[in-house]
Amino acid sequence: MKPLYGTDLKRFLRDYKREHKPDADIVALLQSVEYPANVGSIFRVADAVGISELVLTGITPTPPNPTIDKVGRFKSIKVPWGYEKDPLVAIGQLKANGYRIVAVELAEGAVPYYAYDYPEKTCLVVGHEDHGVTKAVLNECDAAVFLPMYGKGLSLNVHVALSIVLYHMLHKG
């Protein structure tokens, strides 16, 4: 076995995508994710999974931003995104377009991320690094999922948690 580089790597990924085309319509809503490095990481993951759109809300920084661009490797140029100051307005628009709103949050009634039956049109909501998803936004969500924590930490970084759920959604069976 040897690592793939250049043309061999591009062919490998192209062939995999052709055989395993995702069929989900996934949007991610960032509710006041404050740190540009996290936003850049989310742009990079959004590109990797072929997300339909990123919706940035509240105090979430927007491109162009040197940190978002560097960490995200300029994926904000390729990933569809928009900004809406009020996350409740954005959620209302997404619901009107047929999306189920699912918070990735440690919240009352949340189920493990692997146990939820994600509909074809899903919007995943992640919140502020320190405060999480607000109560007002949680009240508008149709469901909440969480990542079980088996160590001493209580949560994962926002971009890591979102990444795990996104990849699970694409490969759930």
Q: What is the mean pLDDT of residues 11-15?
A: 94
- H or E element, residue 90: helix 87-96
- Would the pLDDT of 23 be above 90? no
Model confidence band, residue 173 (pLDDT cutoffs 50, 70, 90): low
Beta-sheet pairing, 121-127 with 25-31: parallel
Q: What is the mean pLDDT of residues 45-59?
A: 97
Average pLDDT, the chain: 96
Q: What is the mean pLDDT of residues 76-104?
A: 98
DSSP 2-25: ----HHHHHHHHHHHHHHS----E
- Would the pLDDT of 79 be above 80? yes
- Would the pLDDT of 24 be above 90? no
Tens-digit pLDDT profile for residues 122-157: 999 999 999 999 999 999 999 999 999 999 999 999
| Structural contact between residues 112 and 86, judged by C-beta atoms closer than 8 angstroms | no
pLDDT of res. 155:
93
In the chain, the domains with their CATH numbers are 21-170 (3.40.1280.10)
Model confidence band, residue 116 (pLDDT cutoffs 50, 70, 90): very high
- Would the pLDDT of 30 be above 60? yes
Q: What is the mean pLDDT of residues 10-26?
A: 90
Separation of alpha carbons 131 and 89, rounded Å: 20
Tell me the residue ranges of DSSP E strands in 85-142: 100-104, 111-112, 121-127
Percentage of the chain with pLDDT > 90? 94
pLDDT of res. 20:
85
Q: What is the mean pLDDT of residues 75-95?
A: 98
